[in-house]
Amino acid sequence: MQFIKKYPKAFQWLFLLVIFFALCFAIEVPETYKFIRGQAEFVKDPNQSFYVFLGKEVRYYAFDVFWRLPPLLGWLPIWINDSLFFLMNEWLPMEFWNSDTQTYKTRPLVLQVTREITSIMTFLIELIREILLGGLKTIVAFTSWDWVGSNSWAKMPGLPWTVVAAGSAILAYKLSGKGLAIFAGLVMVYISIFGQWKPSMQTLSFILVAAPLSFVFGLGFGIAAYKSKRVEKALYPILLVMQTMPQYAVLVPALVLFGVGDHAAVIITMIVAVPPMILLTLLGLRAVPPEVIEAGRMSGCNNWQLMFKVLIPTARRDILIGVNQVIMVCFSMAVISAFIGAKGLGFNLLLALNQLNIGLALEAGLCISLIAILLDKMSLAWANKQVDYFGNLTFFERNKNAIFFGVTVLIGIVLAYLGSFFFKQGFNYLFEVPHNKGISTADFWNKGVDWIFDTFFVYIKAFNTWLIVEVLQPMRALYLRMPAVATLVLVVGAGYLIGGIRSALVVCGLTLFIALSPWWDRALVTTYMATFGVIVSCIIGFTVGTLSFQNKHSANFMLGVCDIFQTFPSFVYLIPVMMLFGITDTSVLIAVIVYATIPATRYTIEGLRSVPTALHDAATMSGVNKFQRLTKIEFPLAFPHMMLGLNQTIVFALFMVIIGAFIGTEDLGQYILKALSDKNGAGIGLTLGICVAFIGLIFDNLIRTWVGQRKKHLGID
Residues that bind other proteins (CB under 8 A): 4, 8, 11-12, 15-16, 19, 23, 30-32, 45-47, 49, 61-66, 69-70, 484-485, 488-489, 492-493, 496-497, 501, 504
Q: How far apart are CA 238 and CA 515, in angstroms?
A: 21
Residue number with CB closer to other proteins (4 or 295): 4
Q: If you ran DSSP here, which 8-state letter would residue 630 be given?
A: I
Shortest Cβ 12–other proteins spacing (Å): 6
Q: How far apart are CA 75 and CA 82, in angstroms?
A: 10
Shortest Cβ 51–other proteins spacing (Å): 9
Shortest Cβ 48–other proteins spacing (Å): 10
Residue number with CB closer to other proteins (80 or 488): 488
Residue number with CB closer to other proteins (8 or 237): 8
Shortest Cβ 712–other proteins spacing (Å): 16
Residue number with CB closer to other proteins (353 or 482): 482
Strand partners, 52: 57
Residue number with CB closer to other proteins (313 or 500): 500
Residue number with CB closer to other proteins (314 or 517): 517
Q: Is the dihedral of CA 673, 679, 680, 686 positive or negative?
A: positive
Q: Is 154 exposed, middle or buried (0-12, 13-18, 19+ CB in 10 A)?
A: middle
Shortest Cβ 78–other proteins spacing (Å): 19
Residue number with CB closer to other proteins (274 or 484): 484
Q: How far apart are CA 489 and CA 485, in angstroms?
A: 6
Shortest Cβ 505–other proteins spacing (Å): 10
Backbone angles phi, psi at 135, to 5 degrees: 160, -175
Q: How far apart are CA 356 and CA 611, in angstroms?
A: 48
Residue number with CB closer to other proteins (245 or 491): 491
Shortest Cβ 488–other proteins spacing (Å): 6
Residue number with CB closer to other proteins (336 or 484): 484
Shortest Cβ 594–other proteins spacing (Å): 38
Determine how many CB atoms are found less than 10 A away from the CB of residue 507: 26
Q: How far apart are CA 506 and CA 509, in angstroms?
A: 5
Shortest Cβ 40–other proteins spacing (Å): 13
**Taking Cα atoms as reference points, which of 493, 495, 497 lies closest to residue 507?**
495
Under 8 Å between Cβ of 275 and 239? yes
SS3 content of the chain, % helix, strand, coil (to 5): 75, 5, 20
Residue number with CB closer to other proteins (410 or 501): 501
Q: How far apart are CA 560 and CA 373, in angstroms?
A: 11
Shortest Cβ 503–other proteins spacing (Å): 12
Distances 30 to 65, 68, 156, 250 between C-alpha atoms, Å: 11, 10, 68, 35
Shortest Cβ 695–other proteins spacing (Å): 19
Shortest Cβ 698–other proteins spacing (Å): 15
Residue number with CB closer to other proteins (69 or 326): 69
**Residues constituting the chain:** 717
- Strand 103-108 relative to strand 93-98: parallel, antiparallel, unpaired? antiparallel
Q: How far apart are CA 406 and CA 180, in angstroms?
A: 20
Under 8 Å between Cβ of 108 and 92? yes
Q: How far apart are CA 327 and CA 535, in angstroms?
A: 30
Q: If you ran DSSP here, which 8-state letter would residue 29 be given?
A: P
Element (H, E) at 324: helix 316-336
Q: Is the dihedral of CA 480, 483, 484, 486 positive or negative?
A: negative
Q: At what angle do helices 197-227 and 345-354 cross, to 10 degrees?
A: 120
Q: What is the CA radius of gyration of the chain?
A: 28
Shortest Cβ 470–other proteins spacing (Å): 29
Shortest Cβ 62–other proteins spacing (Å): 5
Residue number with CB closer to other proteins (493 or 541): 493
Q: How far apart are CA 244 and CA 694, in angstroms?
A: 8
Helices (H), 98-177: 109-133, 137-142, 145-150, 161-176
Position 261, amino acid: G
Under 8 Å between Cβ of 135 and 129? yes
